[in-house]
Amino acid sequence: MTVEDIVIRENDAQRARLETLVSSGIHFGQELGNGWTVAVALAHMAFWDRRAAGLLHRWAVEGSLPDPVDDDLMNATLLPEWLALDPKRAAELAVAAAVLVDAAIEALDADKADAIVMIGNQYLVERGKHRQQHLDQIELALAS
């Protein structure tokens, strides 16, 4: 299996949704629960997209397998830094990271992409799913 057009289209669609949301004048301080704000969710997305881009680059160049990580611990550890970020900067970082990782995914060698999926790390190429989860959460909070 290669990185299918549907994955790339979904990544593109969620990146466009992110770009529209951050340019719409939203309230970045809106609470999302558990100490998270819209800005924190955007910084979170930026981090995980940048991490995926870095892992994809290392995989493409060195053939190194992605490192396992405790996502919940990583999120809790990074929360103070995300809260300290200027909210508009968090939005800029989220968009830039989405652009970066989507380009890395599109440029990924088909054999490397196949191997990523085969070892169960499809989350590295299916970035749209992660963005969708948080964008849905943000839009729901902003609507209430």
Structural domain of residue 80, as residue ranges?
A: 5-143
What one-letter code names the amino acid at 34?
A: N
Helix (H) or strand (E) holding 33: strand 31-33
Domain of 12: which CATH number?
Answer: 1.20.120.450
- Number of other CB atoms surrounding residue 34 within 10 Å: 9
Q: Other CB atoms closer than 10 Å to residue 127's CB: what's the count?
A: 26
- Phi and psi at residue 113, to the nearest 5°: -60, -45
Number of domains in the chain: 1
Contacts of 61-66 with C-beta under 8 Å, sequence gap 24+, read 63/112, 65/119, 66/116, 66/121, 66/124
Q: Tokens 């396992």 — which residue?
A: 68
pTM of the model: 0.87
Please give the chain's pLDDT, 144 residues, in tens.
456 788 899 999 999 999 999 999 999 999 999 999 999 999 999 999 999 998 888 888 888 766 778 889 899 999 999 999 999 999 999 999 999 999 999 998 888 888 888 888 889 999 999 999 999 999 999 998
